Chains A and B, each alone.
Chain A
Amino acid sequence: DVKVTQSSRYLVKRTGEKVFLECVQDMDHENMFWYRQDPGLGLRLIYFSYDVKMKEKGDIPEGYSVSREKKERFSLILESASTNQTSMYLCASSSYYETQYFGPGTRLLVL
């Protein structure tokens, strides 16, 4: 079974803090994705990566950066957390033409 894990299920941070969300997949997938999920807005793509050290902006990259130093690991970084970044963050991975597999999500609260 494909496994996608995320470093935290729940996280509480203060405004201005640097926040790291980590995602690990165990299926040797080329593609990895970070989404933000908000009620009424569905899933919005923040960044994705199609190979190690390769990344592309999604639809809402502002305020976020990513890092992919190893194939199995994809990190989302909030350089200076703000209250409007309070949300559910979902990581996903897929091989080239296959279905995306999702992690359990990280619910982030920025105070």
Chain B
Amino acid sequence: AQTVTQSQPEMSVQEAETVTLSCTYDTSESDYYLFWYKQPPSRQMILVIRQEAYKQQNATENRFSVNFQKAAKSFSLKISDSQLGDAAMYFCAYRSGDSGTYKYIFGTGTRLKVLA
């Protein structure tokens, strides 16, 4: 069975600085998708970034980028130029590429605090 591990329950970053959130996963599959979701306090969970396992290039969305290390089964999220609005819970998630599978597997989350 696949698992997703976020080993940092909480992290802090100074405004305008860079922070990296860690995520490791375990799977025997070669085709899968990885996601980072953001859940601001009392607000809806939204997608930050998505990575297809078959793509070697790391995904980037503005100030958010990932470091996808397939062999190491690592999928970290880097937030550059941190802003107060980045404060949230961040969840790493895995989804199999198997066409018969719909399940997402989520990590336990990392709470990011942004210090002014």
Which residues of A are at the interface with B, using a C-beta cutoff of 8 A?
31, 33, 35, 40-45, 48, 50, 56, 58, 90, 94, 99-105
- Is B46 part of the binding interface, using a Cβ–Cβ cutoff of 8 Å? yes
User: Once the chains bind, are A42 and B45 in contact (CB under 8 Å)?
Assistant: no
Interface residues on B, range: 10 to 19
Q: With the chains together, A33 CA to B46 CA distance in Å?
A: 15
Whether A100 touches B104, Cβ cut-off 8 Å, given contacts A40-B9, A90-B45, is yes
Q: Is the contact region of chain A dominated by helix, strand, or loop, or is it mixed?
A: strand
A58 near B103: Cβ-Cβ < 8 Å? yes
**A50: chain B residues within 8 A (beta carbon):** 102
B98 shortest CB reach to chain A, Å: 11
- CB within 8 Å: A-B pair count: 41
Contact B47 A42 (CB under 8 A): no
Q: How far is the CB of A41 from chain B (nearest CB, A)?
A: 6
A40→B108 contact, CB < 8 A? yes
* B30 → A minimal CB distance (Å): 16
Q: Smallest CB-CB separation from A35: which chain B residue?
A: B106
